[in-house]
Amino acid sequence: MPAFGRFPVLALALMLSAPAVASVDISDALIAVTDLGLGNYGFTQGGWTAGGLVTGSFTGSDDNFDGQLNSFDGEISQFSMSFSGNANVKPFSLGLSDLFGLVYDLNHNVLGDGVLGTDEEGILVIGPRTIYDAGPGLITICGIGDPCALIANVPEPATWALLIAGFGLTGAVLRRRGGLRGAYTPERLLR
């Protein structure tokens, strides 16, 4: 047994296997939308608990004349957004290829104040390591005590690799210490 003992190895293994938690923040503000003309719209959203600002733009046309721009109907032709970052969530930018859904009522200048089931509007953007969800109709119910938006950074693959390595090292240390004596091993299963 090395001089440093088993405890530091086990502690290191447990630290490596600590859960990889996404960094999350919520906003209590609706998305302010500005009509820039010719089917172009700009939007901003503040109100994040740790500060920061979401800004972006989208372009669309109401092809089915229902009073909404709806990406599910193919009415959004351009989309981009960015978050300035804060203590909870790193800054990021996302584009049209990351847009899961966007529904916007053309009759006013806010997004996310619709009524569930009848007048739903919102934005859901899922990037490689980032999620932005705002307004009712997708996940959140804004304006009746719940957050208006959620933003999150998802852990990178290297973090997941450390997590898996930590679990493996924890298992190896416990097995070597005899902590897994009652565990099923390939030898026991073949008996």
Sign, Cα dihedral of 85, 112, 31, 42: positive
Q: What is the per-residue pLDDT across 62-93, written as a single tens digit (0 to 9) for each?
A: 999 988 899 999 999 999 999 999 988 889 99
Instruction: Please report how the helices 7-16 and 157-177 are oriented relative to each other, as an axis angle in degrees rounded to 10.
Output: 150
Q: Tokens 């490689």 sit at which residue? A: 128
**Confidence at residue 80, expressed as pLDDT on a 0 to 100 scale:** 97
Average pLDDT, the chain: 75
Mean pLDDT of the 52-56 span: 95
Q: What is the per-residue pLDDT across 29-45, written as a single tens digit (0 to 9) for each?
A: 888 999 999 999 999 99
Residue 64's CB: how many other CB atoms inside 10 A?
Answer: 11
Q: How far apart are CA 117 and CA 172, in angstroms?
A: 53
**Start-to-end CA span in the chain (Å):** 32
| pTM of the predicted protein model | 0.68
CB 17 within 8 A of CB 163: yes
Q: Please state the three-class secondary structure of the chain as a single string.
A: CCCCCCHHHHHHHHHHCCCCCCEEEEECCCEEEEEEECCEEEEEECCECCCCCEEEEEEECCCCCCCEEEHHHCCEEEEEEEECCCCCCCCEEEEHHHEEEEEEECCCCEECCCCCCCCCCEEEEECCCEEEEECCCCCCCECCCECCEEEEECCCHHHHHHHHHHHHHHHHHHHHHCCCCCCCCHHHHHC
Q: How far apart are CA 180 and CA 178, in angstroms?
A: 5
Q: What is the per-residue pLDDT across 127-163, written as a single tens digit (0 to 9) for each?
A: 888 888 887 644 445 555 566 777 887 766 665 566 6
**Confidence at residue 186, expressed as pLDDT on a 0 to 100 scale:** 59
